[in-house]
Amino acid sequence: MANLGCAHTQVPERKMYLIAEDASSINFQEDARGIGGAGAEAYCNELQKQCYTKCMRRKPEIPSIPKHSGKHKEHCTTTCLNEYMDCVKKMEELERQEAQSKKLQFPNIDKALDWLKEHTPEAPPGTHVVVAGVGFVIAMVGGALFLVPI
């Protein structure tokens, strides 16, 4: 009996799908990866250091705190720690938004594989892909690039 298709989207099998047999020569786009956790932390650390240096050079906003005193150091440490925490929160939010925007969605596995094979540099390992509601991630296995179910 021949299957003439159906009106609803068919769920893909939960197996690995080959995207590229040899991914070693693929130059994934740098901007596709975002700033990443370690980069964000280093960025916020640098901002905190600059804040502290600038704060210690200036007379405190609070008149009762003498410049370069223990209270001044405490004030600068607290102020700049707050700036650091704000920076980390902002970076986490940006990464969350970026991850959501980079999630690729396709109606079926054939369309997903066709697009991924044609646009491989735009979808580095770690990219999330949704095919007919099923979550996958792009992974490098033994030098080959696969679409792997989550």
**Number of other CB atoms surrounding residue 107 within 10 Å:** 13
Per-domain residue ranges of the chain: 17-149
What are the strands, taking DSSP E only, across the chain? 17-20, 104-106, 128-131, 134-141, 144-149
Chain segment 31-55, per-residue pLDDT in tens? 444 444 556 778 899 999 999 999 9
- C-alpha to C-alpha distance for 9 and 40, rounded to whole angstroms: 39
pLDDT band per the 50, 70, 90 thresholds, residue 4: very low
Q: Which amino acid is at 86?
A: D
**Residue 150 reports pLDDT greater than 70:** yes
Distances (CA, A) of 62 to 50, 52, 53, 75, 77: 20, 16, 17, 9, 15
Q: How much is the pLDDT for 126?
A: 84
Residue-wise pLDDT for 82-109, tens only, equals 999 999 899 888 777 766 666 788 999 9
